[in-house]
């Protein structure tokens, strides 16, 4: 049955989600200050750490805005240029093929050329891709999408590699990374909502045309390059500036069962989230229903922000716990939420509710998995390993785009079932990862191969010590009063 009025949900839901998120963030800071008198509120940290976090988050959020502005009206822009669904499908496939074939090696190369240089390259690719997208030529637009694919393959890897390496070099406490990670998730949701509102403003209200968000994205990409040039220092993963060495180091790291398990967990999460981004709108508009997609998207992003606030409680206190303990439950809840669209349920209110629940789970899992990666992956091979983690994601998206979107050989409900199976297998992998957590034999082997202490071993020893002193009620004494390792 076709609905006459676009469905947008209850008016109060968006304000309610944001209000609960704000209360959680404030409550976490207050409760954490009572349990850890040496750490008052989450913004009360040594000036050196605050400055470091500000420099990184400024670039990260600007890159997020650049990515968002390019995607809001991208499909509408292609249709405005006169391209059909087949051509638009080719453009999207081009993004993932370039990221898969070239982007994997480009990401691994960041370990030898330097993460700062790789971040600048990422900004240049975004800038060139935005400028070329002004053209209406099919082949030039393919070039723009190649640049976009390479940029999205670099963005989540080189920035994280730079963050972890610089955080360790400056001597900040390992657990402080949790705060950076959940703020990243919180800010990503905020940026996504702001991007949609800003793009609608300049396109509809000011009438600047569908290409105007891309012009703004190009300007922000240029600003990112300037900030990296002036505010970041270089760090590399290997002393030998050779791609072959970086690839070899990354492959050697994958011999560690824990890194393989973490890779599978990360892959199931990323593939599911990417598939959801592709399928949520077609699922809601099934049977010819009309929806207010912008408002529903705001609900989803507010739910993601709410999940990041919950992650702050779990990772940063006062109820600090290991990600391996709570992430299996998060994955199970996310699987149950996706079971509704997989069953082909058609009640739109129920669908939006379970989609919001799924995004709460995403908000919890995102910073938690990032913290796990910071523990298990050593800095000398981090960008390469993270690039390899992205390979199954691009393969999964190509499968969904080609078999489901273009050829129509796979139903959307089947894709959701596959995502559910993936998340449940990720849950099993999380239990196995917890089993291997306290084993350092592989880390010692890597230590002998690299001729220096592996960060995996050092971090695990520290985590074991923290777990011990937590049980004895002496966490404040173990962490010290100064706030540095």
Question: Residues 115-159: pLDDT tens digits?
Answer: 999 999 999 999 999 999 999 999 999 999 999 999 999 998 999
Number of Cβ within 10 Å of residue 57's Cβ equals 15
Instruction: Indicate whether 267 belongs to any domain.
Output: yes
Question: Mind listing the pLDDT tens digit for each residue in 231-283?
Answer: 899 988 765 667 777 777 788 888 888 999 999 999 999 999 999 998 898 88
Instruction: Indicate whether 178 belongs to any domain.
Output: yes
Instruction: Indicate whether 450 belongs to any domain.
Output: no
Tokens of 471: 């049980």
Instruction: Indicate whether 149 belongs to any domain.
Output: yes
Instruction: Indicate whether 422 belongs to any domain.
Output: yes
Please give the pLDDT value at position 343: 86
Question: Mind listing the pLDDT tens digit for each residue in 381-415?
Answer: 899 899 999 999 999 989 888 877 666 778 888 89
Please give the pLDDT value at position 468: 43
Residue 37 has pLDDT above 80, yes or no: no
Instruction: Indicate whether 462 belongs to any domain.
Output: no
Place of tokens 């990409």: 221
Sign of CA dihedral 456, 462, 463, 464: positive
Tokens of 157: 């890897």
Residue pair 325/40 in contact by the 8 Å Cβ criterion: no
Nearest Cα to Cα of residue 418 among 322, 335, 314: 335
Q: What is the CATH number of the domain that holds 283?
A: 1.20.1250.20
Tokens of 137: 């030529």
Residue 86 has pLDDT above 60, yes or no: yes
Please give the pLDDT value at position 266: 95
What's the rounded mean pLDDT across residues 359-373? 96
Please give the pLDDT value at position 241: 66
Instruction: Indicate whether 296 belongs to any domain.
Output: yes
pTM of the model as a whole: 0.86
7 phi and psi, to 5 degrees?
-80, 130
Number of Cβ within 10 Å of residue 167's Cβ equals 21
What's the rounded mean pLDDT across residues 212-239? 91
Q: Which residues form the domain of 224?
A: 12-437
Give me the number of domains the chain comprises: 1
Tokens of 367: 């910073």
Question: Mind listing the pLDDT tens digit for each residue in 164-209?
Answer: 999 999 999 888 899 899 999 999 999 999 998 899 899 988 888 8
């Amino acid at each position: 049955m076709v609905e006459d009025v676009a469905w947008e949900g209850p008016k109060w839901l968006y304000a309610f989600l944001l209000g609960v998120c704000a209360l959680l963030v404030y409550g976490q800071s207050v409760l954490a200050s009572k349990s850890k008198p040496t750490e008052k509120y989450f913004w009360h940290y040594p000036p050196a750490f605050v400055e470091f976090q500000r420099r990184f988050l400024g670039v990260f959020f600007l890159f997020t805005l650049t990515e968002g502005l390019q995607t809001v009206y991208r499909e509408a822009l292609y249709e405005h240029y006169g391209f059909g669904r087949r051509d638009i499908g080719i453009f999207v496939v081009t993004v993932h093929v370039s990221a898969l074939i070239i982007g994997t090696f480009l990401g691994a190369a960041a370990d030898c050329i330097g993460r700062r240089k790789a971040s600048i390259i990422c900004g240049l690719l975004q800038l060139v891709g935005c400028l070329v997208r002004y053209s209406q030529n099919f082949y030039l637009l393919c070039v723009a999408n190649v640049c976009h694919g390479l940029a999205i393959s670099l963005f989540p890897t080189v920035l994280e590699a730079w963050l972890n390496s610089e955080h360790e070099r400056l001597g900040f406490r390992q657990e402080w990374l949790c705060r950076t990670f959940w703020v990243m998730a919180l800010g990503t949701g905020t940026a996504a909502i702001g991007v949609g509102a800003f793009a609608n403003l300049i396109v509809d209200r000011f009438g600047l045309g569908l290409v105007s968000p891309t012009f703004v994205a190009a300007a922000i990409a240029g600003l990112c390059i300037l900030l990296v040039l002036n505010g970041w220092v270089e760090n590399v993963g290997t002393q030998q500036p050779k791609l072959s060495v970086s690839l070899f180091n990354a492959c050697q790291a994958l011999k560690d069962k824990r890194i393989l398990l973490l890779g599978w967990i990360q892959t199931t999460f990323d593939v599911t989230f990417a598939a959801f981004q592709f399928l949520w709108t077609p699922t809601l508009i099934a049977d010819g229903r009309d929806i207010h997609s912008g408002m529903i998207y705001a609900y989803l992003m507010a739910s993601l922000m709410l999940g990041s606030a919950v992650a702050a409680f779990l990772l940063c206190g006062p109820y600090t716990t290991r990600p391996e303990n709570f992430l299996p439950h998060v994955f199970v809840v996310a699987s149950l939420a996706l079971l509704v669209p997989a069953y082909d349920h058609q009640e739109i209110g129920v669908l939006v509710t379970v989609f919001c629940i799924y995004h709460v789970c995403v908000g919890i899992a995102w910073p938690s998995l990032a913290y796990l990666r910071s523990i298990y992956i050593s800095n000398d091979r981090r960008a390469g390993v993270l690039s390899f983690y992205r390979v199954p994601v691009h393969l999964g998206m190509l499968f969904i785009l080609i078999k489901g979107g273009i050829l129509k050989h796979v139903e959307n409900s089947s894709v959701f079932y596959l995502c559910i199976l993936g998340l449940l297998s990720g849950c099993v992998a999380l239990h196995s990862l917890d089993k291997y957590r306290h084993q350092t034999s592989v880390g010692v082997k890597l230590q002998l191969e690299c001729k220096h202490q592996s960060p995996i071993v050092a971090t695990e020893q520290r985590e074991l010590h923290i777990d011990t002193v937590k049980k004895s009620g002496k966490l404040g004494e173990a962490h010290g009063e100064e706030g540095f390792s």
